[in-house]
Each structure stands twice: as C-alpha cells, then as structure tokens.
Amino acid sequence: MNHTYAVITGAADGLGRSFATVCAKAGYHLVLVDLPNKKLNRIAQHLECAFQVKTLVLEINLCALGAAQKIVNLIRNNDLPISLLVNNAGIGMRKLFEDTHEHFITEMIQLNIAAVTQLAWQLIPLMKKHTPAGIINISSIASYYQLPYKSVYAATKALVRSLSLSLRLELKHTGIHVCVVCPGGINSNATQYLISKNTGWLLRQTVMHPDRVAQIALQKAMQGKSLVIPGMLNRIIHFLGKLLPPFLRERIALSTMKMTCTINSKASAIPLAA
C-alpha cells in the first residue's frame, strides 16, 4: 500500500478519470483537480469506497492565473506527501485556425502549456521529498505531425513532449522520473465517441478505451519508460508514417483531418457538439 498522493488534473472525466481509477487501484491517495460543477466529489467518494484510498478534491479552472499555486497551497496546508503528478487536463480543437475564437486559443495555450509547465515547476520541489516520484505528462500522437484543423493543439502537445524529455534528463538523478504519453484517439467523452464512430475503419481501430491508456501509461512510467505511445496499432502507424515521403504524409494528414474534423450533425441523425 502506497501512502503518498497522486495529483491528477482533469480528473472528472475521460482519461483523467481513468488515471484516478488506475492510481487508486495502485494504492495512491488522490488529489483530484477539475472544473467546478463536474460532480468530482461524487467520483472521489466512489473511488474512496472502492479502493480504500483518501481523496482531496479541488474545483478550479486551471486556465486562471495562479491556479497551480492554489494546488500547491492545498498540498502544503494539508501536508500531503506527493509522489506523482499526472498532467492530464487539456483541450482539443477541430477547426481551422482562422475560424477558431481568439479566446479559445488563449485558453488552450494556458491550459495545455502554461498550467502543465507551472504545475511541474511548483511540484518538483515537493516531490523531491518523497522519491521515488514521477511526473506523467499527457502529450499526443498529434505532437509529431503537421495537422490542419488541429494546428494549435498539435503545437501545444509538441511543447509538452519536448519539455518532458528535457526535464527527464535534468531530473535524472533526483529520483523524479518524467514520462510523456502520446496517445492516439481515445474514447474519452461522448463527442469523441461519436467522432470516432464516423471516421474510417482504420482510424476506428486505433481508438482506445481511456482505462486501457491510463493503465499502460502508469505501468510503463513505473518501468522507467520516458515516452509511451499506447497501442500497437498506433505504434505501427507512427512507424510507417515516418517512412513515408513528406509530401505523401502531408496529403494523408490533410485528408484525414478533413474527414474527422468536418463531421457534423448534418451528415447523420447524430447531434455533435462543436
């Protein structure tokens, strides 16, 4: 039984909720962070009851200034031993850069980049006291590609990957292991489920259950892996993608993105949130 805490952002649904479950199963107590009004308290209660762990819930918007500081204050005030940070919260996009609202872009950069970076910076000193410790940052397979319709998203995820790999070297002898996860498609919420249902056969095969992704990520991070691409098919496609001549890769990226990002409710009876 582990007596330390794992901090998980975006824990109310999708991959974050799966990380919360997998970490609780592994015996971590939990600090769960997500936006207000997502019933995070109830999720925490279910996890406490099922896995006999302690939980603390913090409902804040990580895009807000000083959000990382609030998490650290909570940890300090309760004197919690932290040994794992799962930087999971993030938002995606499926729109042309020009058509995307400026405010949305700012928020995405704030959440996907600033919050991730600041949280790592703030928590590293605390985690040094409870080694062996770990940071799991969630990047994306998108971080490797030039992706129209996901331009800002892919760029933010590239930063997360780059930051993580550098940090890993810096922290190598401190007892804090940094691992970056680059998942492909995940059935993380209703919209993702409906999108993946309407894509091509091959893409549908790559979509993974968030529980599975979280399970693989935690296991590989524990084994000391620095970069994890969950799913054999994702790894194969990624490998083959690297072999393709750039012009072909770009064409495939463009047509795939066009197909998945322009699915709308007109095409079917399915109502898709933008």
Partner 1 sequence: MKILVTGATGYIGWKLCKRLAAEGYEVVALYRNRQIESSIPNISWAKGDLQDTSGLKVAMEGCQQVYHVAAVARMHTANNNEMYATNLQGTINVLEAAAYNSVERVVYTSSAGVMGKSFEMPLSEGDPRLEPFDNDYDLSKHLAEEQVKNYVRNGYDAVIVNPSRVFGPGIATYSNAVTRAISNYLKYPLFLVPGKGEAIANYVFIDDVVEGHLLAMRHGKAGENYILGGNNLSYNGLFDLLQSITGLHKTKIAAPMAAMKTVARIAAMLQFILGQHPTFTPYLCERLCHNSKLSVAKAMSEIGYQPTKIETALSITLRSLGFKMDSTMVPRPVSGKTLIHSL
Cβ-contact 136, 127 below 8 angstroms: no
Instruction: Pick one of 13, 59, 107, 250: the residue that binds partner 1 (CB under 8 A).
Output: 13
Instruction: Pick one of 69, 193, 248, 262: the residue that binds partner 1 (CB under 8 A).
Output: 193
Instruction: Pick one of 5, 6, 9, 14: the residue that binds partner 1 (CB under 8 A).
Output: 14
- 269: contact with partner 1 by CB under 8 A: yes
Show the binding pattern over residues 45-84: x = contacts partner 1 (CB under 8 A), - = does not: xxx-xxx---------------------------------
Give the C-alpha separation, 217 to 227, whole Å. Answer: 9
> Considering only CA atoms, which of 96, 140, 138 is closest in space to residue 274?
96
Candidate ranges 6-14, 62-70, 72-80, 238-246; the one touching partner 1 (CB under 8 A): 6-14
DSSP E strand stretches across 123-175: 133-138
Please report how close the Cβ of residue 201 comes to partner 1 at its closest, in angstroms. 13
Instruction: Pick one of 8, 12, 85, 180: the residue that binds partner 1 (CB under 8 A).
Output: 12
Secondary structure (3-state) at 225: coil
- 42: contact with partner 1 by CB under 8 A: yes
Q: Which is nearer to partner 1, 243 or 273 (CB)?
A: 273
Enumerate residues 114-133 that contact partner 1 by CB under 8 A. none
- 259: contact with partner 1 by CB under 8 A: no
Instruction: Pick one of 66, 200, 224, 271: the residue that binds partner 1 (CB under 8 A).
Output: 271
- 96: contact with partner 1 by CB under 8 A: no
**Which run of H or E residues covers position 30?**
strand 29-34
| Side chain identity at residue 188, one-letter code | S
Please report how close the Cβ of residue 12 comes to partner 1 at its closest, in angstroms. 7
Contacting residues for 217 by C-beta, under 8 A, at least 6 apart:
19, 136, 138, 179, 181, 183, 228, 230
DSSP E strand stretches across 233-274: none
Give the C-alpha separation, 88 to 91, whole Å. Answer: 10
Residue 105 burial (CB < 10 Å; 0-12/13-18/19+)? middle
Cis ω on the peptide bond leading into residue 271 (within 30° of 0)? no
Show the binding pattern over residues 206-225: x = contacts partner 1 (CB under 8 A), - = does not: ---xxx--------------
Cβ-contact 109, 153 below 8 angstroms: no
Give the C-alpha separation, 111 to 109, whole Å. Answer: 6
Please report how close the Cβ of residue 60 comes to partner 1 at its closest, in angstroms. 18
- 43: contact with partner 1 by CB under 8 A: yes
Secondary structure (3-state) at 66: coil
Q: Which is nearer to partner 1, 52 or 106 (CB)?
A: 52
Tell me which residues touch partner 1 (CB under 8 A): 12-14, 17, 21, 38-39, 42-43, 45-47, 49-51, 187-190, 192-194, 197, 209-211, 268-271
